[in-house]
Amino acid sequence: MKVDLSPYSRKMDKTIEVLQGQFASVRAGRANASVLDRISVEYYGVDTPINQVGSITSPDPRTLLIQPWDKTLLRPIEKAIQVSDLGINPQNDGQVIRLIFPQLTEERRKDLTKQVKKYGEESKVAIRNVRRDAMDAIKKMQKKSEITEDDQKEAEKDLQKVTDEYIKKVDEQCAKKEKELMEL
């Protein structure tokens, strides 16, 4: 009997998706609205992402403009950006908030590369945790005599192959993002 590993593959796919989302929010040298995804502002007593309280545009490669639909949010948005880990000082002109992304310094590139590696390691740990859960499930199936010992060994071998593939994907994503950071 073949053990179905697809639920675990889907969990590993989710881990890759989360990693890609984290990489999108890593601030590179050019303006990208996704860097604001993690920043929220209090709006009517509820923490709301900035992209849900106004429009975000990029008039040029190094600038983001945030135009809140409610002008009373200019100050709170400005404060939220200042206290975030974005490292950019917002400019408020009473109508819009302007974020100007400076050219990356060598030191900032190294910091961003460390952040990328950290995200990669976290993803690998998550994938290994999925593997551990799957291994436990396979062992339980064997203990309950739902599968034979040979099936267990085969399933564990297949699971390791799947895990290795996903770890390789994480490494590839990290290398690609690091290369992108160094080319800016």
Domain at 6-23+105-183: CATH code: 1.10.132.20
pLDDT digits (tens, 9 = 90+) for 69-112: 888 888 888 888 888 877 788 888 888 889 887 777 788 788 88
Q: Does domain 30-100 have CATH number 3.30.1490.20?
A: no
Q: Where are the domains of the chain?
A: 6-23+105-183, 30-100
- Rounded to two decimals, the pTM is 0.70
Q: Tens of pLDDT along 50-76?
A: 888 889 888 887 888 999 988 888 888
* SS3 per residue for the chain: CCCCCHHHHHHHHHHHHHHHHHHHCCCCCCCCHHHHCCCEEEECCEEEEHHHCEEEEEEECCEEEEEECCHHHHHHHHHHHHHCCCCCCCEECCCCEEEECCCCCHHHHHHHHHHHHHHHHHHHHHHHHHHHHHHHHHHHHHHCCCCCHHHHHHHHHHHHHHHHHHHHHHHHHHHHHHHHHHHC
